[in-house]
Structure 1
Amino acid sequence: MNTPAIFDHRAIMLHRDRAAGRQGLISPILDAATAILSDRLDDVARPFTAALDIGGRGLVSQMLAERHIPTLSMDISPRQAALCAPHTLCASPEALPFAPASFDLVVACLSLHWVNDLPGTFMQIRQSLRPDGLFLACMPILPTLRPLRSALERAELALSDGVSPRVSPLPTQQGCVQLLQRAGFALPVVDSERLDLRYRSTTALLADLRAAGETSALVQRPRRFTSRMLFAAAAAELESNSEDSRITDCNKNNTDGFSMPLHMAVLSGWAPAPTQPQPLQPGQFQHDLRDVLSGSKATEQIPD
């Protein structure tokens, strides 16, 4: 069965190409996401000898190089791939061009949420890992950009009595857990991180989205010219609904603009291997839970 095309790969490539020269404008966000993955990697007490960096914009490959991990970087955008020299290739994460068991580490930093077939991509990543290899990733999740989506929808309804898809759909944290499980990763872990971002205007928010290559690449996005009235009405809607965030920040002497936090899921999973801890099968337990809960089991005394 063919996967429905939600995202336009050519548009994604063009947006990331254009963003390659402007990503310095959002470097604090990219640096923070890379640092989160770096911290998770530092918690793993084992060496890695062959890593794949998917869409790391040059930051992930640098982080891995500092740890002396040989790395191959890939990106759907030729200009983004060029930022990851010396070992790079241009390819889509939906069709990984690697033999099974090619890597013992795969890292994806804010680069998989434009994939049409996420279950298929996760399966390909698992297959490209050697037994006991690690997959480490961060992805934007809901409710990221939900206020922007709502403001655009209300503004468009008021102006044209209809709604067009303008903001990319994002997964939930629970959805990320299910993706790891469905792909067959062992010991899956998904937790969340939040980057608190504030913008003085909707124009500034849209500028950051362009600098990140995150403007709409939906197949069903409007192809006609968008009236400035729509963005003006959406901006008024978004900024007028930011009173709660202004009140929250009053004690910080920051009452300008509005809050637009980036919610991220941080995912880790391992390619299955016989050496990994395995859950007990039914009937293999050694203690009766009723005894433990009732306290009837004798407590072993530790000699002085």
Structure 2
Amino acid sequence: MAAARALWRPGLPVPRGCGRLWAQPGRAAAAVAPPPPSGASPGARSPFDRRLKRKQKNWAALRPRPAECEYLRDEVGSGVADRVLDIPRTFPLALDLGSGRGYIARHLNQEVIEKLVQVDIAENVFKSTSESEIPTVSVVADEECLPFKENTFDLVVSSLSLHWVNDLPKAFREIHQVLKPDGVFIGAMFGGDTLYELRCSLQLAELEREGGFSPHVSPFVAVSDLGHLLSRAGFNTLTVDTDEIQVNYPGLFEVMEDLQGMGESNCSWNRKPLLHRDTMLAAAAIYQEMYGNSDGSVPATFQIFYMIGWKFHESQAKPAQRGSATVSLGDLAKIDKLLHQK
């Protein structure tokens, strides 16, 4: 597992001499879970309320200062952009899936991507997109059903969006379909250890105060499954790596407020409709007791999975046929002797 690294958002006052305390004081309101719409089938195969996720992202995009909660999205968007820059080519047409306000595009230029199509489920994110020198086209569409023809894009990128997709295998297949041969998909999504401190604190508080608990953090994919899902969708030459980012906050309420400001509030169908005040206060105390830092802050860990997959093309390098090797692995111990003989 990758070592956790700290991230901070500059420009906010630091209270009581504590380090990296960013969130404004306040409480996130408890969301009330609506009944599923007709035709929806909540459960293991459809865990998320996509209509609610659209409302959450639209609300977050219309906040007076939406950039205050973008520190994590900007950091991960930069990580995706770095992986694009590692590929020594120019992409004529690229797709940013779940683009938000342009967290990847702001780190790239027209020498890398000549034209970019930005897609998001929430229309309000396009009202205040970040400036970029790349010509862009904005499309409001659901990541679960892409409205593009086969073999359209040279590059597809996605940052912190696919973890809210109900059918991830289908989403990967559609991404593979809209890519041109020899096109590449580069994405990032939250991993299973994300917000484990918040999850554990809320569960312990509910067990203590209410005699049981319900999920308050959405389910995430495991890294062991990610490569298999990409391979099954048709991608080859796969790369999957992990990163952990630890963010420090004044307390539990600020963690939840910033998640709401990111548009990352829980939208699972089985989420609890109400968080009782006593339970929330107990969870905040447990969070501080179990995970609190010496300066009075509390950490929130975000695990990030970065993935790269290519669509097959005849020009791509192919693995050698089995049995075609001319050197045995047993000769590796003799490599120094063989080199000196030459």
Which of 291, 295, 317 is matched with 1:242 structurally?
291
Distance 1:131 1:155, change over 3 A: same
Which of 32, 55, 66 is matched with 1:14 structurally?
55
Distance 1:296 1:140, change over 3 A: closer
Does 173-182 or 184-193 show the bigger shift? 173-182
- The structure carrying a bigger helix percent of its residues is 1
Question: Given that residues 115 and 136 in structure 2 are in contact (C-alpha distance below 8 angstroms), is that contact kept between their aligned partners in structure 1?
Answer: no
Within 5 Å, give how 1:5-84 maps onto structure 2: 5-22=46-63, 23-57=66-100, 58-66=102-110, 67-84=112-129
What secondary structure is seen at the aligned counterpart in 1 of 2:150? coil
Unaligned runs of at least 5 residues, structure 1: 247-254
CA distance in 2, matches of 1:116, 1:189: 23
Measure how far apart 1:151 and its partner are. 1.1
Unaligned runs of at least 5 residues, structure 2: 1-40, 130-134
Aligned residues: 291
Measure how far apart 1:300 and its partner are. 6.9
Measure how far apart 1:38 and its partner are. 1.6
What secondary structure is seen at the aligned counterpart in 1 of 2:164? coil
CA distance in 1, matches of 2:214, 2:289: 22
Aligned to 1:204: 254
Question: Given that residues 74 and 81 in structure 1 are in contact (C-alpha distance below 8 angstroms), is that contact kept between their aligned partners in structure 2?
Answer: no
Measure how far apart 1:286 and its partner are. 2.2
CA distance in 1, matches of 2:77, 2:272: 33
Measure how far apart 1:293 and its partner are. 4.4
What secondary structure is seen at the aligned counterpart in 2 of 1:37? helix
What secondary structure is seen at the aligned counterpart in 2 of 1:34? helix
Measure how far apart 1:294 and its partner are. 5.5
| Percentage identity across paired residues of the two chains | 32
CA distance in 2, matches of 1:285, 1:86: 48
Q: Deviations over 1:12-61 (max 9, x none)?
A: 10010011134311222222112111211111111101100111222223
Measure how far apart 1:64 and its partner are. 4.1
Question: Given that residues 93 and 113 in structure 2 are in contact (C-alpha distance below 8 angstroms), is that contact kept between their aligned partners in structure 1?
Answer: no
Within 5 Å, give how 1:65-104 maps onto structure 2: 65-66=109-110, 67-84=112-129, 86-104=136-154
| TM-score under structure 1 length normalisation | 0.89
Report which structure shows greater RCO (CA 8 Å, sep ≥6). 2
Distance 1:178 1:68, change over 3 A: closer
| TM-score under structure 2 length normalisation | 0.79
Aligned to 1:215: 265
Measure how far apart 1:282 and its partner are. 1.6
